[in-house]
Amino acid sequence: MTVPVHAVVVGSGIAGLTVALHAVDHGCRVTLVTKDVLEHANTRYAQGGIAGVMFDDDRVEDHIRDTLVAGAGLSDPAAVRVLAEEGPARIRELIDLGVAFDRDADGGFVKGLEAAHSYPRILHSGGDATGTAIEKALVARLRASDVRVIEHAFLIDLVVREGRVSGIELLVGDRAATRLSPAMRGRRETIDADAVVLATGGAGELYAHSTNPAVATGDGIAAALRAGAEVRDLEFFQFHPTVLPGWDGAHEPAARDAFLVSEAVRGEGATLIDETGHRFVFDVHPDGELAPRDVVARAIAHRMELQGGRPVRLDATHLAAAGDDSAAFLARRFPTIDRAVRDRGLDWAREPIPVTPAAHYLMGGVTTDLVGRTTLPGLYAVGEVARTGVHGANRLASNSLLEGAVFGSRAGDAIAQDAASGSWTTAAVRTAADLRAEPPAGDAPAFSRAALQTLMWDEAGLVRDEAGLGHAAAVIARWRAGIRAPQTEAEYEDENLLVLAESLVAAARARRESVGAHFRRDAAPAPAATVPTAQETVPC
């Protein structure tokens, strides 16, 4: 009797759950490990929705073009075509699993519009609770499957034997004091595997202001770097333009109190104004509030600088629908945001609310091919941890959930196929940015995660230059040279953040032009890339 291939999936967002479900359906033995509880992943925080060509008057070619334009010409056209062409089938798969996307009175899907889309192709669930609805449906299906689940399991490193990834090393239960017995806490465990899938999400904890949960510490990318896998495009970190800062503009912001206000609010017609009431984004882009995210985020940051650091305002007071006043419409269309706004003592139906940019999504990551294979045999990557080539220099709104579903399913299928063939092929190695560390500097402040986050926000945030990046590289190198060997989960996270920060800063220094989310004040913008028109066909 043939022993089934054993796949270990690290991460429990839409990408990891989709990989696990597809792999187990192909007869693989699957173990899914997650850093927190199964339901706690970035996916559950996704408000806006999932993009896909689900309407008769929309076109796949238009979704492709919108994605390429947002990516500033640096997206991989083949990956974008896979995303747009296979997206509708993956959305229907989610519907079959029980995700109830919002429908109108006639039973059709409610259309949502977000920045840089030429068509309102965003589907949402519960108004602004799409990620939660998807996470719940996938988790329910996973719990009913044969997938083994290990919660509170932190990825220490990949196990590499004879040039291929053959397992993972875990620290289990280090932070689960109330859930596990003392004997079970902080134990180390090695799991052997035929295939390992990284689905560990992003790295918002690199920055002082972030929309990400605290678990987003770049663990998968750091482990891949240590193992020798290729990593690309780390300089492209997207900053979401509209985040409630958790303060009123008169005091220092509470960095971890931020709450994202979905781009869908602007898609419904909300406007951005400065202290004089001026809609300032039109000064820099003809699409105003619905320009690409990097443009809007930088416009807000610049306006805040002119206002002495005070936030701009998001004005939704004029939004309403037939039979609704503004308050009723906002509560019905955006119930999660409405509660968060009102919990902060703000009445956004009557007055504009303060918003600022915050770190949101990492477009780069572990280099993969179109089925999730990395440059190391036996290692796959999906979701935000992966650099599939879909997002280029700037992610198109609501393409992230779609990417997790599309490439998660492809990776789950590929693992079974690779095992059957015995080939365990890898993604082609391409030229990456020089990621060599800067020699240690003289003086540097004492290391703390807060100090790292402030350094990255100031020197490698929305706007960068060589002087700031060079300073950051020197400080990070000094910190890395002095950090002690980690023992606890928090210490491993700090090490991972330093590894990732060093690589991100090096990649940002290597790319000297401004493009997409990577904006250097000391360089002219890169020449506009050639992007197909809506009538042209994007080559496969």
| Residues catalogued as catalytic | 293
Cα-Cα-Cα-Cα torsion 114, 370, 199, 455, nearest 10 degrees, comes to -70
Residues 256, 209: Cα–Cα separation, whole Å: 7
Task: Look at the block and give the residue holding tokens 């036996």.
Answer: 378
Smallest CA-to-CA distance from 405 within 48, 16, 66 is with 16
What sign has the CA pseudo-torsion 244, 247, 249, 253?
negative
- Give, rounded to a whole angstrom, the gap between the first and last alpha carbons of the chain: 41
CA distance 94 to 311: 38
Place of tokens 């008169």: 250
Which of these, 86, 97, 103, 109, lies nearest to 134 by C-alpha position? 97
Q: Tokens 């509560």 sit at which residue?
A: 331
Query: Cα(460)–Cα(454) distance, rounded to whole angstroms?
Result: 10
CB atoms within 10 A of CB 443: 7
Task: Quote the DSSP letter at residue 377.
Answer: T
Q: Whole-angstrom Cα distance, residue 390 to residue 68?
A: 8
Contacts of residue 403, defined as CB under 8 A and 6 or more positions apart, other chains included, come to 15, 83, 383, 388, 390, 391
Question: Which spans in 208-286 are helix H?
Answer: 219-227, 263-267
- What residues pair up with 74 in beta bridges, in sequence order? none
Amino acid at residue number 321:
A
Q: Residue 199 burial (CB < 10 Å; 0-12/13-18/19+)?
A: buried
Measured CA to CA, the distance from residue 359 to residue 272 in angstroms comes to: 19
The label of the residue with tokens 């990621």 reads 435
Q: Rounded CA gap, 191 and 30, in Å?
A: 12
